[in-house]
Structure 1
Amino acid sequence: MDEAVKQATPSLPDASKLINLGNNRWSFKPELGISKRLGPVTVELSGAGTFYTDNDEFLRDHTFSQNPIYQVRGHLIYAFSNGVWVALDTTYFAGGSTSVSVWSIHLGIALIPVLALLGSLHK
């Protein structure tokens, strides 16, 4: 089977097993970003949403659902004249709560801010 087809095909659950590694669902993640250079500084901002289909065969006869996960990322990059750069990155996630049939699990992502400092040294 072609490798691209294998990756795009969702795993099918094995009804004889309680735990299956496949999700038996699809997810879609559209993203949109913008970047603007202002002298030695570059500002980048992007947004994304991950949307999930339901798994209507979860534990044989239950439905597993997950709300979308929304993501906003920002990057502030400073490039020095000698090729060295430093960046301050942040990511914010919201949403993602899950439910099975009639009860809600709420194990999804609520609010997770992420902050990182990166750099590069060129000789």
Structure 2
Amino acid sequence: MLPSPLKLKFALSVALVAGMIFLSSCGKDPSASEQAATPEKRVETFCSACHLLPPPATLPRGMWERKIDEMYELARGSQKELPAGLPPRGEAIAYFTSRAPEGLPGLSHTVGRRSPALGFDPIGA
């Protein structure tokens, strides 16, 4: 059975109001509670708003500053100013570099060992 036109209008009105409230909260200055959050929480919240928060151990310490600069440029997009809520660059750098390893372990490989999955058969010899 189809809902009555009155119920349908009410449901659409509620959805419209909810959507307007949601959209009006985008891009606003951070609230006092967000500003009072720890630097770590600000970095985690902002970075995980667009993607999974990467573990700091995925890059060596010396690469995080450049990576954070790249991500801040992506966050800026075509805007002249950085979006509201973006933690200061120094906080983001400190968050990742203080937790990142000095370097990453090297890849191990065996020289002279042929993988059975790969083979070479000359053609037309």
Common fold, TM-score beyond 0.5? Answer: no
Structure ID, larger Rg: 2
* Higher share of residues assigned helix: 2
**Does 1 or 2 have the higher relative contact order (CA < 8 Å, sep 6+)?**
2
Give the TM-score category using the shorter length.
under 0.3
Normalising by the residue count of structure 1, what TM-score does the alignment of the two structures yield? 0.20
Q: Which has the higher strand share?
A: 1
